[in-house]
């Protein structure tokens, strides 16, 4: 390829990379299409530049996962494959549907990714940012261009969460053609059928992209069938060469049968079996965003975004512990009535983000500032008496004192946040970025615990004013490598779900307190020519007033269990040994990679007043629950012309399901050790005729029998088995 075309390709690539979809809206830049004669190596993981859009990334540990370059089973959002090259990612695998992505890092809980600030195109998608940050909706990954992850250093620019930011950036329409049709049809084990169809393009000043996704299967476990439908539409209009405006809308709805947990003995006999056939969950989800990007000048940028979430979550089923059988009632001549729980989420807000580049000491420095306004509401209704049937039916069949639900809560959160970061460029190589975030959080609750005369509790409210500080530094060792370091404070209010029992086995401490702490990380990262990519570093995370679960009086007890410290190392190395020694190979290329994290996550303080004077019950020195000490994913990708094949081996060490590090499982299987496991996956991608593709793979190649969590409540108390061996075949086209 001629050098002029390489330079043009670089300009195209740079213009299409950004943080949020509104910042990377397609510009009406008429550049010619370029045909690449030699296919470059897959570059699945990238890093953010120092400044991009209205955000500063200098000194922050981050990864950008480019989904179009991955050999993975995207049809079911296979997280262990998608996040395989991000060191230290813990994955919860409740079932094989991929409806809810549950991931975390550095000893944090993977529960529906709630320790991350989860966004789509920069807009919130969780139930409620502070009160209920669980991501019941995850976009179908076939419609996602990339996933951006910023570790704890994201707490200043995006929100105070300990885990940082995880942002799904959706695909965009082709910048040079008015209409492109994309389709992918996937078939797999246990009746899996996935259909993804999309239209996109650019006509004059308008660019657009829209897809419809359908997925359904009977699933690997018994009583675990599901159906999901999701649609997405985005339109961007270039008003001028400097101003872009747009709107995005997502609608997702699924119905999933929940097979419930198992006892350890039942799991050992047959992990596929299920003793809950009447349990269902459904979650209609709507996310809307309106935005404007204004490049006031070459050095001044403004982004305005308005967003909203309207969603529901409904559970119906027999929710007793798994050691209590759901049997036929001979007196009623039917099964016992099921429990109905319903949540309603209404959230909306806006963000204004501003970036100013300026000269300081003959270098380009940058100031990023912004304000966020947010309002969230959750209406939670629990303990409704449902039907005796086995299908999805949320009909209430009995009342308590004239009310359909025996428990009802109404939660409100008002939040205003201001942030400011400044990257000071010192010389050509060093940058230092201090920052501050100021959070104003007002939360209130009202409702009733039961329908008796004394069941209504007095409305309560709490006002918080939180200031977070941080600073980062980055030193360019070469043009493609750098040293980085960061310190950022974090904060996590008590969530509404932590304040209320699950309706099954959990007991809640009424005096829960907010958590706070900080992240420190640093390392060395970059690329060496076209054959080596790496990011090697260490971290230290302090988490004060951590909320967890211990066993008390024979039941799971949720409380502030003290302070934990997670420290360790995160390393990613990928090398192409053929390119390292031979520039061109007639038999293809192979890349070898290792993604490894050592996580020493332990409790350093125990301050529960109920049992503080009992040394036998202290958790000081105990390992943090669901924090594997070793997480390793190793693999190889072979590329020959338009064929690529990837093999990945995942190794995760044992964890404990409670802070007391209980070794022996209890009768309900809600506490006890979760054994270590090793899983192998193999995937293949073939491109032909420039328009068509064939994908195939085997998940859990060795049919490993394992589980990643013990549930105390939803989606069913007990051991939650992960999928055994499954296969998929997918055909697609882009025309």
Question: Quick one: pLDDT at residue 347?
Answer: 96
What is the C-alpha separation between 719 and 95, in angstroms, rounded?
12
| Stronger pLDDT, 93 or 504, i.e. the higher one | 93
| Torsion of the alpha carbons at 45, 51, 57 and 59, rounded to the nearest 10 | 100
pLDDT over 60 at 334, yes or no: yes
Instruction: State pLDDT tens for residues 488-521.
Output: 999 988 877 677 665 455 677 777 888 999 999 9
* For residue 657, pLDDT beyond 90: yes
Quote the pLDDT of residue 132.
Answer: 87
What does the pLDDT average to over 709-724? 89
The per-residue DSSP string of 571-621 comes to EEEEE-HHHHH-S--TT-EEEEEEEEEEEEEEEEE---TTTTT-GGG--TT
Q: Does 282 score more than 50 pLDDT?
A: yes
pLDDT at 429: 96
- Reported as a pLDDT band with limits 50, 70 and 90, residue 608 is low
DSSP 613: T
What is the pLDDT at residue 28?
Answer: 41
Give residue-wise pLDDT tens across range 477-494. Answer: 999 999 999 999 999 888
Query: Tokens 């069949």 belong to which residue?
Result: 397
The conformation of residue 142, written as its DSSP 8-state character, comes to G
- Specify the pLDDT at position 712: 83
The more confidently predicted of residues 445 and 200 is 200
Q: Which residues contact 667 (CB under 8 A, 6 or more apart)?
A: 263, 321, 323
In which residue are the tokens 């209404």 written? 346
Whole-number pLDDT of residue 4: 41
Residue 714 confidence (pLDDT): 75
In 100-205, which ranges are E strands?
A: 102-104, 116-120, 123-124, 144-150, 164-170, 180-188, 192-203
What pLDDT does 609 receive?
A: 58
32 or 639, greater pLDDT: 639
What is the per-residue DSSP string for 645-675?
EEEEEEEE--EESSTT---S--TTSSSSEE-
Domains: count for the chain: 1
Calculate the dihedral angle through the C-alpha atoms of 477, 478, 481, 484, rounding to the nearest 10 degrees: 30
Residue 21 has pLDDT above 70, yes or no: no
Helix (H) or strand (E) segment spanning residue 13: helix 3-15
**Reduced to 3 states, what is the DSSP secondary structure of residue 47?**
coil
pLDDT mean over 288-313: 97
Residue 655 to residue 632: CA distance in whole angstroms: 14
Percent of the chain whose predicted confidence (pLDDT) is above 70: 91
* pLDDT grade for 289, boundaries at 50, 70 and 90: very high
Least confident range of 166-180, 627-641, 701-715:
701-715
Q: 3-7, 212-216, 500-504: which has the highest mean pLDDT?
A: 212-216
User: What does the alpha-carbon distance between residue 219 and residue 94 come to, in Å, rounded to a whole number?
Assistant: 12
CB atoms within 10 A of CB 558: 22
Q: Is the pLDDT of residue 248 over 60?
A: yes
In the predicted model, what is the mean pLDDT of residues 390-400?
Answer: 95
Cα 438 to Cα 93, 414, 612: the distances in Å are 36, 14, 34
Average pLDDT score over the chain: 90
Structure tokens at 636: 């190889």
Distance CA 267, CA 674 (A): 12
Contact 631, 653 (CB under 8 A): yes
Q: Does 718 have pLDDT greater than 70?
A: yes
- Does the structure show a pLDDT above 50 at 31? no
Quick check: bond before 644 cis, omega within 30?
A: no
More confident residue, 409 or 729: 729
pLDDT confidence tier of residue 33, bands split at 50, 70 and 90: very low
Average pLDDT over every residue of 274-287: 96
Statement: residue 660 has pLDDT above 90: no
pLDDT value for 501: 60
Structure-derived torsion over alpha carbons of residues 709, 712, 714, 716, reported in degrees to the nearest 10: 80
pLDDT at 162 (0 to 100): 94
Q: What is the mean pLDDT of residues 458-481?
A: 93
Q: What is the DSSP letter of 205?
A: T
Strands of 42-179, DSSP E: 45-46, 51-52, 55-56, 62-66, 90-92, 102-104, 116-120, 123-124, 144-150, 164-170
Give the pLDDT confidence score for residue 19 in this predicted structure.
40
Encoding tokens for residue 213? 């996704």
Read off φ and ψ for residue 496, nearest 5 degrees.
Answer: -65, -35
Nearest one of 674, 575, 684, 681 to 626, comparing CA atoms: 674
Element (H, E) at 578: helix 577-581
Query: Quick one: pLDDT at residue 612?
Result: 57
Residue 588: per-residue pLDDT? 92
Q: How confident is the model at residue 38, as a pLDDT?
A: 40
Q: Which of residues 596 and 329 earns the better pLDDT score?
A: 596
Lowest mean pLDDT among 125-134, 313-322, 325-334, 603-612: 603-612
pLDDT over 60 at 27, yes or no: no
Q: Which two tokens stand for residue 505?
A: 């086995």
Tokens 């025309």 belong to: 735
Say whether 297 sits in a helix, a strand or coil: strand
Please determine, for residue 457, whether its predicted confidence score (pLDDT) is greater than 80: no
Lowest mean pLDDT among 71-85, 240-254, 255-269, 555-569: 555-569
Who wins on pLDDT, 503 or 134? Answer: 134
Is residue 144 pLDDT above 70, yes or no?
yes
| β partners of residue 508 | 558
Mean pLDDT to the nearest integer, 658-683:
94
688 contacts: CB under 8 Å, gap ≥ 6: 642, 694
Enclosing domain of residue 149: 3-734
Per-residue pLDDT at 418: 97
Q: How far apart are the first and last CA of the chain?
A: 25
Question: What CATH number did the domain enclosing 121 receive?
Answer: 2.40.170.20
d(CA 98, CA 76): 5
If DSSP codes are grouped into helix, strand and coil, which group holds residue 729?
strand
Q: Which pLDDT value is given to residue 158?
A: 93
Q: Check residue 338 and report its DSSP letter.
A: P
Q: Distance between CA atoms of 243 and 261, rounded to whole angstroms?
A: 53
């Amino acid at each position: 390829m001629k050098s002029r075309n390489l330079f043009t390709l670089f300009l195209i690539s740079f213009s299409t990379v950004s943080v949020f979809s509104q910042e990377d809206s397609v510009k009406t830049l008429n550049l010619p299409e370029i045909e690449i004669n030699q296919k470059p190596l897959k570059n699945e993981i990238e890093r953010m530049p120092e400044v991009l859009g209205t955000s500063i990334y200098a000194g922050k540990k981050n990864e950008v996962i480019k989904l179009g370059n991955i050999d993975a089973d995207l049809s079911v959002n296979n997280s262990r494959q998608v996040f395989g090259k991000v060191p230290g990612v813990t994955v919860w695998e409740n079932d094989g549907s991929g409806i809810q992505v549950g991931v975390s890092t550095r000893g944090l809980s993977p529960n529906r990714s709630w320790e991350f600030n989860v966004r789509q195109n920069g807009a919130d998608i969780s139930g409620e940012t502070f009160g209920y940050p669980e991501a019941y909706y995850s976009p179908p990954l076939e419609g996602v261009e990339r996933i951006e992850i910023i570790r704890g250093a994201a707490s200043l620019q995006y929100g105070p969460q300990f885990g940082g930011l995880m942002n799904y950036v959706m695909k965009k329409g082709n910048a040079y053609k008015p209409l492109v049709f994309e389709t992918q049809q996937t078939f797999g084990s246990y009746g899996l059928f996935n259909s993804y169809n999309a239209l996109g393009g650019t006509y004059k000043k308008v660019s657009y992209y829209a897809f419809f996704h359908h997925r359904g299967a009977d699933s690997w476990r018994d009583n675990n069938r599901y159906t999901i439908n999701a649609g997405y539409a985005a339109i961007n209009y270039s008003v001028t060469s400097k101003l872009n405006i747009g709107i995005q809308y997502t609608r997702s709805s699924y119905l999933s049968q929940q097979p419930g947990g198992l006892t350890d003995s039942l799991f050992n006999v047959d992990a596929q079996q299920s003793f809950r056939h009447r349990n269902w969950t459904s979650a209609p989800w709507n996310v809307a965003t309106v935005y404007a990007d204004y490049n006031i000048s070459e050095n001044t940028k403004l982004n305005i975004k308005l967003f909203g979430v309207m969603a529901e979550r409904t559970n119906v089923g027999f929710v007793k512990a798994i050691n209590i059988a759901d049997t036929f009632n001979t007196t009623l001549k039917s099964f016992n009535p099921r429990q109905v729980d319903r949540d309603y989420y209404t959230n909306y807000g806006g963000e204004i983000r501003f970036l100013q580049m300026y000269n300081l000491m003959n270098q380009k420095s940058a100031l990023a500032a912004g304000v966020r306004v947010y309002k969230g509401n959750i209406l939670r209704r629990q303990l409704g008496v449902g039907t005796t049937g086995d299908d999805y039916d949320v009909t209430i069949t009995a009342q308590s004192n004239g009310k359909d639900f025996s428990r009802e809560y109404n939660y409100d959160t008002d939040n205003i946040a201001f942030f400011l970061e400044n990257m000071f460029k010192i010389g050509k190589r060093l940058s230092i970025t201090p920052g501050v975030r100021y959070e104003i959080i007002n939360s209130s609750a009202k409702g009733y615990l039961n329908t008796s005369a004394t069941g209504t509790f007095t409305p309560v409210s709490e006002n918080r004013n939180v200031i977070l500080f941080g600073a980062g530094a980055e030193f360019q060792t070469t043009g493609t490598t750098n040293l980085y370091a960061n310190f950022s404070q974090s904060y996590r209010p008590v969530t509404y779900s932590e304040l209320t029992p699950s309706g099954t086995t959990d007991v809640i401490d009424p005096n829960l307190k907010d958590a706070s702490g900080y992240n420190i990380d640093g390392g060395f990262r970059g690329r060496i020519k076209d054959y080596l990519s790496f990011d090697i570093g260490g971290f230290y995370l302090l988490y004060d007033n951590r909320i967890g679960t211990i066993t008390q009086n024979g039941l799971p007890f949720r409380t502030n269990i003290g302070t934990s410290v997670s420290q360790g190392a995160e390393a990613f190395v990928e090398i192409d040994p053929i390119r390292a020694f031979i520039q061109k190979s007639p038999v293809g290329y192979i890349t070898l990679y290792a993604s490894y994290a050592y996580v020493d996550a332990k409790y350093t303080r125990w301050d529960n007043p109920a049992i503080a004077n009992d040394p036998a019950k202290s958790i000081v020195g105990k390992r943090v629950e669901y924090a594997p000490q070793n997480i390793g994913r190793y693999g190889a990708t072979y590329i020959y012309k338009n064929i690529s094949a990837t093999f990945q081996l995942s190794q995760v060490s044992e964890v404990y399901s409670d802070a007391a590090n209980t070794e022996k499982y209890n009768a309900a299987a809600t506490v006890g050790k979760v054994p270590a496991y090793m899983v192998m996956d193999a995937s293949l991608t073939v491109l032909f005729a420039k328009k068509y593709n064939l994908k195939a793979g085997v998940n859990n190649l060795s049919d490993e029998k394992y589980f990643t969590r013990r549930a105390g409540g939803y989606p069913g108390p007990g051991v939650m088995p992960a999928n055994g061996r499954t296969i998929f075949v997918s055909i697609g086209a882009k025309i």
